[in-house]
Structure 1
Amino acid sequence: MSLLPPAIFLMGPTASGKTGLAVELVQSLPLEIISVDSALVYQDMDIGTAKPEADVLALAPHHLINLIPPTEVYSAAQFRQDALRLMAEITARGKIPLLVGGTMLYFKALQQGLGDLPQADAEVRAALDAEAAAIGWPAMHARLAGIDPDTAARLQPTDAQRIQRALEVHALTGETMTALFARQSEQQLPYRLLKLALQPSDRAVLHARIAERFVLMQQQGLLAEVQALVEKYPQLHAETTAMRCVGYRQTLDYMAGKINAEEWGEQGIAATRQLAKRQLTWLRGMEDTLVLDCLAPDLHARAGEQVRTFLAA
């Protein structure tokens, strides 16, 4: 292992302070940031994704943001391919890849590889969307539970994107995602890893941060951003993958008059809390992580010390 080049994972739930910590680490260490965030890949989606602002990106450039328009789809397999290429390029430059984000499936795909999953099929997805429109996603989740109980147990009954994908995989292959992942070959990541996991010592404080941040997004112009998106990309709708990002679906509902202003805020905050809960569940299941309290006043000093010790080993 000591002969492998180093790489660092900086993981954590939304609003845990990952970006601020990463930017500070880059200022004092030979690191380059690779974003591990399925929302930051989209162009023109800045406020609702909490994308780093231009001055931050000038100080600490991020790879793998602003890659595609919100009408397209970016898969975990594509992320793995892009991340491996960038990691090799960064290492060749004599620097260390710092992979930062909260999309835990991307971290898992990068470290462990992916099963041989089929490409998305527009016809199958359209049929599943039509069925969901008729009976609702909780009923689709119940259907998935009858086919693939292990996958269904990991998903919320309202997690339309992942429920759809699991049903799509079964429809296309006749096999469950659980079975396909069980057969996947171990694809060893050729790096010596330090995996830092930011977790809150007090979940209520994280919830307060989430609420404050969503209100700030509203004040910064989230509504105007989504209005501009649907004008620029008329094909966007609530079930488009990009619009399933937390905050965007709720803003579309508000624009459509399905919810009022108060409900817009409440539902946006609730959806973000649910996202944080899922991220923390993923983190608890990851092996060999070094947990740091994201609320600790000396977080940056502790993280810097751990990184320096790792790099000196």
Structure 2
Amino acid sequence: MGPTASGKTDLAIDLVEAVNGELISVDSALVYRGLDIGSAKPDYPHHLIDIRDPSEPYNVADFVRDADRAVADIIARGRTPILVGGTMLYFKAFLEGLSPMPESEPNMRAAIETEADLLGWPALHAQLEAVDPITAANIHPNHSSRITRALEVYRLSGTPLSQWQQQSQERVAPTQQYCVSQFALAPFDRAVLHERIERRFELMLDQGFIEEVKALRARGDLHADLPAIRAVGYRQVWQYLGGEFDLQACIDRGVAATRQLAKRQLTWLRKWPNLFWIYTDAHGNLVEHFESEVTMGAKKPSDLILNCLKLPQ
């Protein structure tokens, strides 16, 4: 696990051969075909990449189902599943189950309320009806608080409120079936992460990110409320192509949104139980902030993980 641009994918690829592993992507954007440049889609084979058209929403319940199958299949073939990504809600639901549903997020609620001020609550009720008709049928078009919560849950997780409420708790958690080791990778200096985010966004533009989103818009069947288009970076370029602001504002907003994503990811991880942190410098080398039997002899992050895996569980 780790914030965006922390080097998670490169680390996971380093581990594959050493542990006879296969990679499973835990990323809500990488599931979509055609979202390649802006999602920093890796070339190395992963399970759960390019499995859904961007017109078809993919949610946390879908991920748990697909990840369970991938893990069981990999283990049945005598190999080790390595889950890698930054969609923390997916990780949490996979490890702990789908309940409880996402907690309220003040910035999301404020955005919904601002939208309601512009369009009116009946318009937002119509949006809810499009993504969660079961919940919408039980809410009056002017019931602001219930509409807000239902849209908030959907926009945070990609899963309708009605589906959260219907989830069964019969699934056996992976921690009860397998030996699970959890690691978080992050630059020791937050400024390094911010610099990487800015540099990567500029590289994406050089690689044709805007043209990629132009092609998505040209399809005609995609819109700004789809989870694929709401992905960080894609939303800002989509708005730029729609004439909402100029290119420099697009870059500034895209970088700012990515930094905010990284901040949210780190907030999740700071509260995460049973997590071993791996800190790196600007060059991706280990920052030796403590000494122990785990760190001794480790030259790079993958060495540190392999040392951990050798210890009694």
Write the deviation string for residues 251-274 of structure 1: whole angstroms up to 9, x where unpaired: 111111111111010000001011
Question: How far apart are 1:290 and its partner, in Å?
Answer: 0.1
Q: How many residues align?
A: 268
Give the partner amino acid of 1:94. Answer: G
Q: Who is 1:33 aligned against?
A: 23
Q: Who is 1:221 aligned against?
A: 208
Q: Who is 1:82 aligned against?
A: 66
1:270 paired with 2:256, answer: yes
1:19 paired with 2:12, answer: no
1:303 paired with 2:302, answer: yes
% of aligned pairs identical?
43
Q: 2:119 aligns with which of 118, 127, 134?
A: 134
Q: 1:111 aligns with which of 84, 89, 95?
A: 95
Give the partner amino acid of 1:248. Answer: Y
> Secondary structure at the residue paired with 1:28?
coil
Do the aligned residues in 1 keep the contact of 2:158 with 2:227 (CA within 8 Å)?
no
CA distance in structure 1 between the partners assigned to 2:19 and 2:200 by the alignment: 29
CA distance in structure 1 between the partners assigned to 2:277 and 2:224 by the alignment: 36
Give the partner amino acid of 1:191. Answer: Y
Of residues 91-100 and 19-28 in structure 1, the stretch that sits farther from structure 2 once superposed is 19-28
Q: Who is 1:205 aligned against?
A: 192
CA distance in structure 2 between the partners assigned to 1:216 and 1:265 by the alignment: 11
Question: How far apart are 1:227 and its partner, in Å?
Answer: 0.7
Q: Who is 1:3 aligned against?
A: none
Give the partner amino acid of 1:161. Answer: R
Q: 2:274 aligns with which of 273, 277, 288?
A: 288
> Secondary structure at the residue paired with 2:182?
strand
Q: How does 1:92-103 map to 2 (within 5 A)?
A: 92-103=76-87
Do the aligned residues in 1 keep the contact of 2:155 with 2:227 (CA within 8 Å)?
yes
CA distance in structure 1 between the partners assigned to 2:144 and 2:311 by the alignment: 48
Give the partner amino acid of 2:22. Answer: E
CA distance in structure 2 between the partners assigned to 1:65 and 1:164 by the alignment: 17
Unaligned runs of 5+ in 1: 1-10, 118-127
CA distance in structure 2 between the partners assigned to 1:87 and 1:115 by the alignment: 21
Give the partner amino acid of 1:293. Answer: Y
Change (3 A) 1:311 1:22: same
Change (3 A) 1:290 1:116: closer
Give the partner amino acid of 1:219. Answer: D
1:247 paired with 2:237, answer: no
Question: How far apart are 1:304 and its partner, in Å?
Answer: 2.5
Change (3 A) 1:92 1:45: same
> Secondary structure at the residue paired with 1:292?
strand
CA distance in structure 1 between the partners assigned to 2:285 and 2:237 by the alignment: 34
CA distance in structure 1 between the partners assigned to 2:195 and 2:166 by the alignment: 39
Q: 2:173 aligns with which of 188, 194, 208?
A: 188
Q: What is the TM-score of this pair, normalised by structure 2?
A: 0.75
Do the aligned residues in 2 keep the contact of 1:13 with 1:279 (CA within 8 Å)?
yes
Unaligned runs of 5+ in 2: 102-112, 126-141, 288-298
CA distance in structure 1 between the partners assigned to 2:158 and 2:25 by the alignment: 25
Change (3 A) 1:208 1:107: same
CA distance in structure 2 between the partners assigned to 1:36 and 1:222 by the alignment: 22
> Secondary structure at the residue paired with 2:278?
strand
Q: 2:32 aligns with which of 42, 52, 68?
A: 42
> Secondary structure at the residue paired with 2:200?
helix
Q: What is the TM-score of this pair, normalised by structure 1?
A: 0.75
